[in-house]
Homo-oligomer: A and B are copies of this chain.
Amino acid sequence: MKKKISILGSTGSIGTQALDVIRSFPDHFEVTVLAAGTNAGLLIKQALEWGPKIVVIADKTRYKEVQTALHTHGIEVRCGEEGLIEAARYPSADMVLVSLVGFAALTPTIEAIRARKDIALASKEVMVVAGGMVTRLAEEKNIRILPVDSEHSAIFQCLEGESKQQVEKIYLTASGGPFLRYHPNEMECISPEAALKHPNWKMGNKITIDSASMMNKGLEVIEAKWLFGLDPDQIDVVIHPQSIVHSLVQFRDGALKAQLGTPDMRLPILYAFSWPQRLSASWPRFDFADYPSLTFEKADQKKFRNLALSFQALRKGGNIPCVLNAANEVVVQAFLEKQLDFMKMPDVIEQTMERSVYIANPDLQELRQCDLEARLIASEYI
């Protein structure tokens, strides 16, 4: 029996690599739904290759184009958030890969869980914004959330066969991004072009800027709390510029386990798809000769303030991680449009966090409201 997979965010970096994985394992997986934000051209091409049941373009202005290209092939086309929700709940799918950018991933993820689909989660914002709600719902519906981030996949792999109460702490590794060796003075005038050059990973723009500013690691810290049921004090970050050790777990007897390998997102994607199995993959193996030295250093939370802000948001809890995420989406966009300096991003996020009203147990409606308000506040500061 092939596993039927819906891909929400099929034209992005994770989505296209997920299709590469499925292409390599045609006996194991098939594509049920393809959904994308705005890239109508690639979505049409993907749909013609894979022949999914339905295709969704979130951007309503591109609906006609997609509909015209696909309706003669018997593929149904939907659009907008309603379309994404229909895609998330599509009956015959076994698993939904959520790889949409930002807050927009939340509602479709919740709908997929309500429809009892297992989730392969690439959009860390889902857990950042609504980790408590999403994990409770997943438990209630008895579905699995499988991490696709390389760090969380590494932790997940290290926890296989180990019981949760035996975990002492985890280390998330961070490459440190392109500015690890910059002096604080040099960081004043960073251009979007420089920030978009990640040393080890080729990813989408938003996550690449987040990596450069270490907000990506901050969001991962919050995501890890919910995925693995940890206290903030059980989560640590260590800089590892080679991105070979993807993360580590320390157990209560002092033993550390790590998962490592060449930086290639296809592995965590495959693991999320195939778990609890591992399938035979033919991609190149890690070779120690290519990495004779693996280095580790302390993460500097003074230089990379987003990391400190993320721990702060995690400790405050409630709606504050949602505020952090919303403000970050706004500042990253502003930075990419050259309306905000690189080093000003944490200032705006911090001020937005301070000015937002605290809600201890926000429901989905309150989170949506909080997300909108935080965006407004952050925009005002820019």
Q: A360 at interface (Cβ–Cβ under 8 A)?
A: no
Q: How far is the CB of A286 from chain B (nearest CB, A)?
A: 6
Interface pick from A1-9, A73-81, A273-281? A273-281
Asked if A256 and B253 make an inter-chain contact with CB atoms under 8 angstroms apart, the answer reads no
A262–B256 alpha-carbon span in the complex (Å): 10
Q: A296 at interface (Cβ–Cβ under 8 A)?
A: yes
Report which of B171, B238, B254, B270 forms a contact with A283, defined as CB distance below 8 A.
B254
Asked if A296 and B291 make an inter-chain contact with CB atoms under 8 angstroms apart, the answer reads yes
Q: How far is the CB of A372 from chain B (nearest CB, A)?
A: 40
Q: How far is the CB of A6 from chain B (nearest CB, A)?
A: 22
Task: List residues of A (271-306) whose CB comes within 8 Å of B's CBs.
Answer: 271, 274, 277-281, 283-286, 288-289, 291-298
Asked if B289 and A257 make an inter-chain contact with CB atoms under 8 angstroms apart, the answer reads no
A248–B248 alpha-carbon span in the complex (Å): 13
Q: Do A253 and B238 contact each other (CB < 8 Å), given the known contacts A292-B295, A293-B293? A: no
**C-beta contact mask, A171-190 vs B, less than 8 Å → 1, else 0?**
10000000000000000000
Asked if B256 and A286 make an inter-chain contact with CB atoms under 8 angstroms apart, the answer reads yes
Asked if B158 and A278 make an inter-chain contact with CB atoms under 8 angstroms apart, the answer reads no
Q: Residue among A160, A285, A288 with the most chain B CB within 10 A?
A: A288
Q: Do A288 and B278 contact each other (CB < 8 Å), given the known contacts A157-B255, A258-B257, A271-B255? A: no
Asked if B286 and A296 make an inter-chain contact with CB atoms under 8 angstroms apart, the answer reads no
Q: A228 at interface (Cβ–Cβ under 8 A)?
A: no
A257–B288 alpha-carbon span in the complex (Å): 14
Q: Do A261 and B256 contact each other (CB < 8 Å), given the known contacts A162-B160, A250-B285? A: yes
Residues of B within 8 A of A259 (CB): 255-258
A200–B293 alpha-carbon span in the complex (Å): 18
Q: Do A295 and B296 contact each other (CB < 8 Å), given the known contacts A255-B259, A274-B253? A: no
Q: A316 at interface (Cβ–Cβ under 8 A)?
A: no
Q: Which residues of A approach B to under 8 Å, CB–CB?
A: 157-158, 160-162, 166, 168, 171, 238, 245, 248, 250-262, 264, 267, 270-271, 274, 277-281, 283-286, 288-289, 291-298
Listed by A's residue number, 23 A-B pairs whose Cβ atoms lie within 8 Å are A160-B160, A160-B162, A161-B161, A166-B277, A166-B278, A238-B288, A252-B278, A253-B271, A253-B280, A254-B261, A254-B286, A255-B261, A255-B267, A255-B271, A255-B278, A256-B261, A256-B286, A257-B257, A258-B258, A258-B260, A288-B296, A292-B297, A294-B295
